[in-house]
Amino acid sequence: MNARLKQAVIHRAQECCEYCQSQARFATHPFSIEHIHPLSRGGEDTLNNLALACQGCNNYKYTKVEALDPVNGQPVPLFHPRQQRWIDHFRWADRFTHIVGITPTGRATVEALQLNRRGLVNLRRILFAAGVHPPSNSNRSE
């Protein structure tokens, strides 16, 4: 993957993880360019198959493309940042510290990628108090 493609992904995501909405400028580990549909499963190295992901989300997602909806136990596709809008599947709760899945895909993604990891919740709480969370590109309604 060339530097130009990487920069396009970072710019499009406004330097935020496209899953948990963490901001790269406050991260303790570098973000990754993630293949939404993994190369090992036939995905391509194209802009439409790439997303910016924090280390945690990238590690939890790994090669997953689906997970079980915790409400009904049925397998559903994980959130796809190129084909779906974040605000259609997730909302903020508890003063913007927790992400709640509002669709089967949203719920499955919250669980599979552990979008409410303790460290993330603590960081969101501090950043909210400092007035820099949630990021301006995410849904601000609680």
| Cα–Cα distances in angstroms (integers) from residue 63 to residues 43, 49, 117, 129, 131, in the given order | 10, 13, 20, 35, 35
CA 137/CA 15 separation, integer angstroms: 10
Give pLDDT, residue 135. 86
Mean pLDDT for the stretch of residues 22-49: 96
User: Can you name the residues that pair with 70 across neighbouring β-strands?
Assistant: none
What's the pTM? 0.93
CA 28/CA 5 separation, integer angstroms: 23
Q: Could you tell me which residue, 58 or 136, shows the higher pLDDT?
A: 58
Domain ranges of the chain: 3-129
| Cα–Cα distances in angstroms (integers) from residue 5 to residues 29, 33, 50, 115, 116, in the given order | 21, 10, 9, 26, 29
Mean pLDDT for the stretch of residues 12-27: 97
pLDDT in tens, 92-122: 999 899 999 999 999 999 999 999 999 999 9
112, 99 Cβ separation under 8 angstroms? no
- For the cut 90, the answer to whether the pLDDT of residue 45 exceeds it is yes
Give pLDDT, residue 139. 52
The rounded percent of the chain whose pLDDT value lies above 90 is 92
